[in-house]
């Protein structure tokens, strides 16, 4: 996902997670009308392959700093190889800036070494991002309070996961407190974060086996008193076109 901030004279763009290979990442950027050289940095939430992917190689190739936690950095020694990415260690609750973007990392309950999620703002409006979390916590809700737009994991429908062909151990992992957000938990988080000026809400990280866009959008729309079509879905293959944060 690319987040862009413009302040008249300058534009800042960061790529949040890089779960694909070098070519596919470049292809997906092209779909948004971007070349890798137009990015300013990469942010990596955690070491799982669908997030770190080719981040170090991509950062090294295109001369982009890679911001991630110390734990993620430690857990990914095998991926760093000879790529010599410019890694900048960040930590939960220590805000930092990349160009015109102010970025606040926060931590989440997930089975990774030191996972981070992010709230990003330009001084005017803020976008909250939450994927890869097993449960709702007061801390997570507090970090997302007041955001103007939200990208929210809706990983699975509990019933579909229960009845899926996944092995029991995997079901326990996904549905556990350090796994992934069920639609109903995402909805519970949204209900606490929602406010009158909350704009775009994007359902993300949907399981292809254990969820459907219809179930995810219905769950989120339900708590907003909206219709499912008002909720956007970040599709794994098609992604999502540019969306504004705030009015
Ligand atoms: Zn993930
Ligand atoms: Zn993960």
Q: Which ligand places an atom closest to the C-alpha of 47?
A: 2
Same domain, 129 and 234: yes
Give the distance (Å) from ligand 2 centre to CA of residue 160: 20
| Residue 68 belongs to some domain of the structure | yes
| Residue 198 belongs to some domain of the structure | yes
Same domain, 158 and 233: yes
| Residue 150 belongs to some domain of the structure | yes
pTM for the model stands at 0.96
pLDDT at 83: 66
Same domain, 148 and 233: yes
Same domain, 145 and 235: yes
- Give the mean pLDDT of 29-57: 97
The tens digit of pLDDT for each residue in 131-143 reads: 999 999 999 999 9
| Residue 245 belongs to some domain of the structure | no
Residue 3 has pLDDT above 90, yes or no: yes
Same domain, 37 and 134: no
Give the distance (Å) from ligand 2 centre to CA of residue 68: 14
Q: Which ligand places an atom closest to the C-alpha of 110?
A: 2
Going by pLDDT thresholds of 50, 70 and 90, the confidence category of residue 8 is confident
Same domain, 79 and 166: no
Residues in CB range of 75: below 8 A, 6 or more apart: 46, 47, 112, 113, 114
Q: Are 192 and 128 in contact (CB under 8 A)?
A: no
Give the distance (Å) from ligand 2 centre to CA of residue 151: 15
| Residue 15 belongs to some domain of the structure | yes
Name the percent of the chain lying above pLDDT 90. 93
Residue 246 has pLDDT above 90, yes or no: no
Give the distance (Å) from ligand 2 centre to CA of residue 200: 24
Same domain, 137 and 188: yes
Q: Which domain holds residue 45?
A: 1-90
Name the percent of the chain lying above pLDDT 70. 99
Same domain, 171 and 235: yes
Q: How many helices (H) and strands (E) does the chain have?
A: 10, 12
Give the distance (Å) from ligand 1 centre to CA of residue 180: 8
Same domain, 45 and 141: no
Q: Which ligand places an atom closest to the C-alpha of 134?
A: 2
Give the distance (Å) from ligand 2 centre to CA of residue 134: 10
Q: Nearest to residue 192, comparing CAs of 240, 118, 128, 134?
A: 128
Give the distance (Å) from ligand 1 centre to CA of residue 50: 5
| Residue 107 belongs to some domain of the structure | no
- For the chain, the domain total comes to 2
Q: Nearest to residue 43, comparing CAs of 110, 115, 138, 135?
A: 115
| Residue 102 belongs to some domain of the structure | no
pLDDT at 228: 92
Give the distance (Å) from ligand 2 centre to CA of residue 197: 30
Among 35, 65, 90, which residue terminates a domain? 90
Same domain, 84 and 143: no
Residues in CB range of 56: below 8 A, 6 or more apart: 66, 76, 79, 80, 81, 83, 85, 87
CB-proximal residues (5 Å) to ion ligand 1? 50, 132
Give the distance (Å) from ligand 2 centre to CA of residue 89: 19
Same domain, 136 and 205: yes
Same domain, 212 and 144: yes
Q: Are strands 2-6 and 116-121 parallel, antiparallel or unpaired?
A: unpaired
| Residue 119 belongs to some domain of the structure | no
Give the distance (Å) from ligand 2 centre to CA of residue 158: 18
Q: Are strands 101-107 and 96-98 parallel, antiparallel or unpaired?
A: antiparallel
CATH code where residue 63 lies: 3.60.15.10
Give the distance (Å) from ligand 2 centre to CA of residue 45: 8
């Amino acid at each position: 996902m690319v987040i862009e901030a413009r302040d008249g004279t300058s534009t800042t763009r960061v790529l949040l997670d890089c779960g694909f290979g070098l070519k596919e990442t470049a292809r997906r950027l092209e779909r948004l009308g971007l070349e890798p050289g137009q990015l300013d940095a990469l942010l990596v939430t955690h070491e799982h392959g669908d997030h770190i992917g080719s981040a170090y190689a991509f950062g090294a190739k295109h001369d982009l700093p890679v911001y991630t936690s110390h734990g993620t950095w430690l857990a990914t020694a095998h991926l760093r190889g000879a790529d010599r990415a410019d890694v900048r260690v960040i930590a939960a609750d220590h805000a930092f800036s990349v160009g015109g973007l102010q970025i606040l990392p926060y931590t989440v309950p997930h089975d990774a070494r030191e996972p981070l999620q992010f709230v990003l703002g330009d001084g005017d409006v803020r976008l909250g991002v939450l994927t890869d979390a097993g449960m709702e916590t007061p801390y997570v809700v507090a970090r997302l309070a007041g955001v103007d737009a939200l990208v929210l994991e809706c990983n699975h429908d509990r019933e579909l996961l229960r009845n899926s062909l996944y092995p029991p151990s995997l079901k326990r992992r996904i549905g556990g407190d350090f796994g992934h957000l069920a639609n109903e938990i995402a909805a519970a988080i949204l209900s606490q974060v929602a406010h009158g000026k909350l704009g775009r809400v994007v359902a993300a990280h949907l399981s292809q086996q254990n969820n459907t866009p219809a179930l995810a959008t219905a769950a989120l729309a339900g708590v907003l008193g909206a219709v499912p079509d008002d909720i956007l879905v970040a599709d794994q293959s098609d992604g999502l076109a540019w969306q504004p944060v705030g009015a």
